[in-house]
C-alpha cells in the first residue's frame, strides 16, 4: 500500500495553497482554482481539472475547505464533468466545453438540490463533499492548535496541558481516519471500483470529524472564540456541511442499506 500523493498531486495542492493564501476573503473555490491556473491547460505543468480523477478533485477540495472557500460552483462543475465522462465523452480535448459548463453551473448555482443530500447525491458526489468537509475540519484544527500554542492559562501554554492537547490529538486522528477513507474510496473509483457503502461512510465520518474539530476550535479560544469572526465562520461552515453532505445519521442509514444489498462482497471489505 502507498498513501503518498504523486508529484502532480503535490504540485496541485501547493498551487492551491498559494492561490488561497492570497485570495481575498469570500473568494469562491472555483475562482481560487482559476487563480491557481488549474482550470486551463495552457502552459501549466500541473494537469488542469479536465484531466483530474476523483482523487485529484478530493485533494483540491480539502485544500479549498481549509479556508472555507464557497465550493458550490466547484462542486457543480465537478458533477457536470463527471456526468460527461460517465457518458463516455472525452473532455480533455474540449476546453471550450468547460467554459459552457461553468456558465451553466453558475446560472444554476442558486437552485437548491431536490431531496435530502444523504439520499439524492451520487456516491462520487458524496466522496468529493467529504473531502471538502475534511478541509473545513483541518482548518478548524490548525487554528485551534495555533491558539492553544499561543494562549497562556495559569502561567502555562494551553497546549502543555494534557487535556486540551489530547482533545486536539483525538480530533487529528478522527480527521486522518476520514481522510484515508476518502482517499481509499476515490482511488477505488478512479480504478473503476465502486465505493459502495464507503461513499456514504466517507461523508458521515467527515462531517462528524469536522463538527468535532469546530467545537475544539471554539474551546481552544475560550469565550473569545464565540466573538472571533474567523472562528465563528469556520464553526458555521462545519455545521453547514450537514446541509451539503447530508446528516450523518441518514448517511449511515444509506451506508447500511448498501452494505446489506451488497452482501459479503462489498468493496471496502477488509
Partner 1 sequence: MRFELDDSQTALVAEVDRLLDESGPDLPPLDQIALLGEHRLLAVHYPVRYGGRDLTLAHHAAVAERMGERGLPDVAHLVTVQAVGCTILCHGTERQRAAWLLQIAGGRLLASLLLSEKTAGSDLAGIETNAVADGDGWRITGAKSWSLFADWSTLALCSVRTRPREHRYDGISLFLVDLSATGVKVSPTFRASGAPYCTVTFDGVLVGEDSVVGPLHRGWPILPTAIGFERMGFDYLTRAVRWLAAAEQEVRRLPADLRSAFAPQVARLRFRVANARAMAYHAVGTADGLDMDEITVAYAKLACGTAAQAVARWAGTELLPVTRPDDGSPAAEVLRAAVAEAPEFTISGGAQELQMDLIANEFPIGGVFR
User: Which positions touch partner 1 (CB under 8 A)?
Assistant: 1-5, 55, 62, 138, 141-142, 145, 149, 159, 162, 165-166, 168-170, 172-173, 175-177, 179-181, 183-184, 187-188, 197-198, 200-202, 204-205, 252-253, 255-260, 264, 266, 268-270
Within 10 angstroms of residue 123's Cβ, the number of other Cβ atoms is 20
The answer to whether 240 and 188 have CB atoms below 8 angstroms apart is no
**In whole angstroms, how close is the CB of 158 to partner 1 at the nearest point?**
11
Residue listed under C-alpha cell 481552544: 220
Q: At 24, is the secondary structure helix, strand, or coil?
A: coil
List 156's β-bridge partners, or say none. Answer: 153
**In whole angstroms, how close is the CB of 205 to partner 1 at the nearest point?**
7
User: Between residues 31 and 189, which has the closer beta carbon with respect to partner 1?
Assistant: 189
Q: Report d(CA 69, CA 257) in Å as an integer.
A: 33
**In whole angstroms, how close is the CB of 197 to partner 1 at the nearest point?**
5
- Cell readout for 245 is 453532505
Residue listed under C-alpha cell 441518514: 250
**In whole angstroms, how close is the CB of 15 to partner 1 at the nearest point?**
16
134, 31, 73, 132: CA torsion to nearest 10: 0
- Cell readout for 130 is 467529504
**In whole angstroms, how close is the CB of 180 to partner 1 at the nearest point?**
5
User: Between residues 73 and 199, which has the closer beta carbon with respect to partner 1?
Assistant: 199
**In whole angstroms, how close is the CB of 179 to partner 1 at the nearest point?**
6
User: Between residues 209 and 241, which has the closer beta carbon with respect to partner 1?
Assistant: 209
Neighbour-count burial of 97, counting CB atoms closer than 10 A to its CB (0-12 exposed, 13-18 middle, 19+ buried) = middle
List 153's β-bridge partners, or say none. Answer: 156
User: Between residues 224 and 261, which has the closer beta carbon with respect to partner 1?
Assistant: 261
Residue listed under C-alpha cell 462545519: 238
The answer to whether 74 and 122 have CB atoms below 8 angstroms apart is no
User: Between residues 13 and 81, which has the closer beta carbon with respect to partner 1?
Assistant: 13
User: Between residues 77 and 124, which has the closer beta carbon with respect to partner 1?
Assistant: 124
Amino acid at each position: 500500500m502507498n498513501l503518498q500523493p504523486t508529484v502532480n498531486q503535490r504540485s496541485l495542492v501547493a498551487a492551491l495553497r498559494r492561490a488561497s493564501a492570497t485570495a481575498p476573503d469570500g473568494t469562491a473555490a472555483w475562482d481560487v482554482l482559476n487563480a491557481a491556473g488549474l482550470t486551463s491547460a495552457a502552459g501549466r505543468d500541473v494537469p488542469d481539472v479536465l484531466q483530474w480523477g476523483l482523487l485529484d478533485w478530493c485533494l483540491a477540495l480539502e485544500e479549498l475547505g481549509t479556508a472555507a472557500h464557497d465550493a458550490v460552483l466547484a462542486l457543480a462543475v465537478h458533477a457536470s464533468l463527471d456526468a460527461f465522462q460517465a457518458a463516455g465523452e472525452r473532455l480533455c480535448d474540449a476546453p471550450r466545453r468547460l467554459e459552457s459548463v461553468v456558465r451553466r453551473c453558475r446560472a444554476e448555482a442558486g437552485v437548491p438540490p431536490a431531496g435530502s443530500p444523504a439520499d439524492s447525491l451520487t456516491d462520487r458526489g458524496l466522496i468529493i463533499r467529504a473531502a471538502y468537509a475534511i478541509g473545513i475540519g483541518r482548518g478548524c484544527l490548525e487554528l485551534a492548535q495555533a491558539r492553544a500554542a499561543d494562549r497562556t492559562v495559569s502561567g502555562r501554554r494551553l497546549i502543555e496541558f494534557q487535556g486540551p492537547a489530547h482533545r486536539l490529538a483525538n480530533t487529528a486522528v478522527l480527521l486522518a481516519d476520514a481522510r484515508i477513507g476518502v482517499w481509499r474510496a476515490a482511488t477505488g473509483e478512479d480504478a473503476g471500483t465502486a465505493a459502495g457503502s464507503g461513499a456514504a461512510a466517507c461523508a458521515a465520518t467527515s462531517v462528524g470529524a469536522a463538527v468535532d474539530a469546530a467545537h475544539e476550535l471554539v474551546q481552544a479560544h475560550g469565550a473569545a472564540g464565540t466573538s472571533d469572526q474567523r472562528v465563528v465562520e469556520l464553526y458555521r461552515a462545519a455545521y453547514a456541511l450537514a446541509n451539503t453532505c447530508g446528516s450523518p445519521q441518514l448517511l449511515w442509514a444509506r451506508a447500511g442499506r448498501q452494505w446489506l444489498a451488497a452482501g459479503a462482497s462489498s468493496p471496502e471489505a477488509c
